[in-house]
């Protein structure tokens, strides 16, 4: 175990906080609720961005950028949307500071510079985007519009945790406009699938695809689709959402188009997003009591090479061999780092890279070279083996794939073990304490979900898209239900 590092079992949330800081991912900033994402953490985010952005382009989307500030009046136009976000908005009221009027040291807003209309720092961009789209759309020929933006947003949260919930966070938000309801729904589903594919194939994190219950739906959406993952403490984490917005925003912002039949109709909308919260998901899905564990596809450094030598002559030989292996790996598209620093001992480096979650470590020692071998250690299961240098780069390429697969398999079996059917309320109250996902019948009413939340702190994470039709009775009310939904405590 890493030195002075709390275990998951001892205190899961402390383990998480410590890990984020000690692995160099992020730290708290001077501003309450806001974090500094450090270079190592940001490098992971950049890999996430790159992979997703490629997929967005692949599915026909283009990036654009909309303003950080939203006029308050825009915000007021969609009733449910206001209702959902008003409580957590940062507001800009002035555009100038002046020395304090009482003569004391410091600055205060200049009353002369009060804004005519106050500006909201975007908590999400639907309103300004739909106000803009109105000008872009006249006929069906202007549709669909498939835009995405990478941006920061602000939601003034009461309680924050690094990556999982911060007052400011980074994300992407896709906003699309369509001529028909069917096409918009298809887009919503398509992007949900992109998210699910990314989560499973890049993050090695299995996710459930489903829709949200009315209580958990995005403010202003007709339907919210989501991917839900299970963390190692058994809690659920919403990792991405895709919303079918119907014509709500088109109506609020008067966005109409002339159809082929020459009829004026409201445009159909979707929006979808994932945020730096994915970083939290990634951390909590795979990491262990020795620190971070990263899937090879998102690790900034996939392979680290550590030299061991005593004499100057040995050092040169080891360096030489390391350069060759490094070149081979680079040619195979592997990101590799050679840590030849002399101020740290090899043992220290082993622990350091282990804590940072580097998937594969190659140790090249003077003794190894005499036998033409190197030591390969994998982070996911902490095993080591000694392999011939001959053909080592191909072996490592293969090993990285194995690690990626193993992480997914491990996470999947963890989730499966933590998922069970529950049919009575008594059993529910006992089982929910143990964590994990509970598959239960629900009568479909917000009142029942609300009551269950109040009594157990569990919510409906999603109504799985692939839920089987099955006659049953609601776990709480006993009323008839046609399928099981997923209950869990959530982040």
Asked if residue 475 binds RNA (CB under 7 A), the reply is: no
The structure tokens 């081979």 sit at 328
Q: Name the nearest CA neighbour of 374 among 103, 366, 445.
A: 366
Asked if residue 321 binds RNA (CB under 7 A), the reply is: no
Asked if residue 218 binds RNA (CB under 7 A), the reply is: yes
Asked if residue 368 binds RNA (CB under 7 A), the reply is: yes
* Residues in Cβ contact with 435 at an 8 Å cutoff, skipping those fewer than 6 apart: 233, 234, 235, 418, 488, 489
Site for RNA in 436-465 (CB under 7 A): none
Order of strands, sheet of 336-338, starting from the edge strand that comes earlier in the sequence:
336-338, 303-308, 360-365, 373-378, 384-388
Stretch that binds RNA, among 68-76, 181-189, 250-258, 269-277 (CB under 7 A): 269-277
Single residue of 78, 288, 328, 352 touching RNA by CB under 7 A: 352
Q: Whose Cβ is closer to RNA: residue 202's or residue 355's?
A: 355
Q: Whose Cβ is closer to RNA: residue 21's or residue 55's?
A: 21
Q: Using CA of residue 46, residue 47, residue 49, residue 54, what is the dihedral sign?
A: positive
Q: Whose Cβ is closer to RNA: residue 168's or residue 187's?
A: 168
- CA dist 377 → 288, 362, 363, 403, 474 (Å): 16, 6, 8, 11, 50
Asked if residue 346 binds RNA (CB under 7 A), the reply is: yes
Length of the chain: 491
* 335/450 Cα distance (integer angstroms): 49
| Contact between 374 and 386 (Cβ < 8 Å) | yes
Stretch that binds RNA, among 158-166, 263-271, 418-426, 430-438 (CB under 7 A): 158-166
Asked if residue 166 binds RNA (CB under 7 A), the reply is: yes
Asked if residue 342 binds RNA (CB under 7 A), the reply is: yes
Asked if residue 328 binds RNA (CB under 7 A), the reply is: no
* 196/274 Cα distance (integer angstroms): 11
Asked if residue 165 binds RNA (CB under 7 A), the reply is: yes
Single residue of 50, 96, 98, 367 touching RNA by CB under 7 A: 367
Site for RNA in 54-113 (CB under 7 A): 87-88
The structure tokens 């906080």 sit at 17
Q: Whose Cβ is closer to RNA: residue 28's or residue 406's?
A: 28
Stretch that binds RNA, among 37-45, 308-316, 330-338, 425-433 (CB under 7 A): 308-316
- CA dist 463 → 210, 219, 429, 444, 481 (Å): 5, 18, 20, 10, 12
Two structure tokens written together for 323: 């350069």
Q: What are the residues binding RNA (CB under 7 A)? A: 2-3, 5, 13, 17, 28, 32, 87-88, 155, 157-159, 161, 164-167, 169, 216, 218, 238, 241, 275-277, 290, 308-310, 342, 345-348, 350-352, 354-355, 363, 365-368, 375, 377, 382, 384
């Amino acid at each position: 175990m890493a030195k002075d590092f709390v275990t998951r079992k001892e205190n899961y949330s402390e383990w998480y906080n410590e890990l984020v800081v000690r692995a160099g991912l992020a730290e708290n900033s001077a501003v309450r609720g806001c974090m500094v994402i450090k270079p190592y953490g940001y490098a992971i985010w950049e890999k996430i961005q790159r992979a997703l952005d490629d997929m967005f382009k692949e599915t026909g989307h283009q990036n654009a950028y909309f303003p950080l500030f939203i006029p308050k009046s825009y915000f007021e136009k969609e009733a449910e949307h206001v209702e959902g976000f008003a409580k957590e908005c940062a507001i800009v009221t002035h555009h100038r500071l002046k020395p304090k009027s009482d003569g004391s040291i410091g600055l205060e807003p200049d009353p002369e510079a009060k804004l005519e209309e106050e500006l909201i720092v975007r908590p999400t961009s639907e309103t300004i985007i739909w106000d803009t789209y109105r000008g872009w759309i006249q006929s069906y020929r202007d549709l669909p519009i498939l835009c995405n933006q990478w941006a920061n947003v602000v939601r003034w949260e009461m309680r924050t945790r690094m990556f999982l919930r911060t007052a400011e966070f980074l994300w992407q938000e896709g906003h699309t406009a369509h001529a028909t309801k069917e096409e918009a729904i298809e887009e919503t589903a398509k992007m949900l699938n992109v998210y699910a594919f990314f989560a499973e194939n890049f993050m090695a994190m299995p996710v459930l695809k489903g829709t949200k219950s009315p209580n958990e739906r995005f403010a202003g959406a007709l339907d919210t689709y989501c991917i839900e993952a299970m963390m190692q403490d058994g809690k659920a984490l919403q990792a991405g959402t895709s919303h079918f917005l119907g014509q709500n925003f088109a109506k609020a912002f008067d966005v109409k188009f002339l159809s082929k039949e020459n009829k004026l109709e409201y445009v159909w909308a979707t929006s979808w997003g994932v945020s730096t919260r994915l970083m939290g998901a990634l951390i909590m899905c795979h990491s262990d009591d020795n620190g971070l564990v990263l899937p090879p596809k998102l690790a900034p450094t996939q392979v680290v090479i550590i030299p061991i030598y005593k004499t100057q002559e040995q050092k040169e030989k080891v360096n030489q061999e390391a350069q060759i292996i490094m070149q081979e790996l680079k040619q195979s598209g592997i990101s590799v780092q050679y840590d030849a620093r002399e101020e740290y001992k090899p043992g220290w480096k082993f622990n350091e890279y282990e804590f940072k979650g580097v998937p594969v470590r190659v140790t090249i020692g003077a003794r190894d070279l005499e036998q033409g071998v190197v030591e390969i250690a994998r982070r996911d299961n902490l095993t080591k083996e000694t392999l011939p240098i001959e053909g080592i780069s191909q072996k490592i390429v293969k090993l990285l794939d194995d690690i990626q697969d193993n992480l997914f398999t491990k996470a999947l079996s963890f989730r499966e073990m933590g998922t069970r059917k529950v049919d009575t309320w008594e059993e529910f109250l006992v089982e929910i304490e143990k964590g994990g996902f509970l598959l239960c019948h629900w009568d479909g009413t917000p009142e029942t979900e609300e009551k269950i939340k109040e009594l157990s702190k569990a919510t409906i994470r999603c109504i799985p898209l692939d839920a089987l039709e099955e006659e049953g009775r609601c776990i709480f009310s006993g009323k008839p239900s046609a399928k099981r939904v997923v209950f869990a405590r959530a982040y």
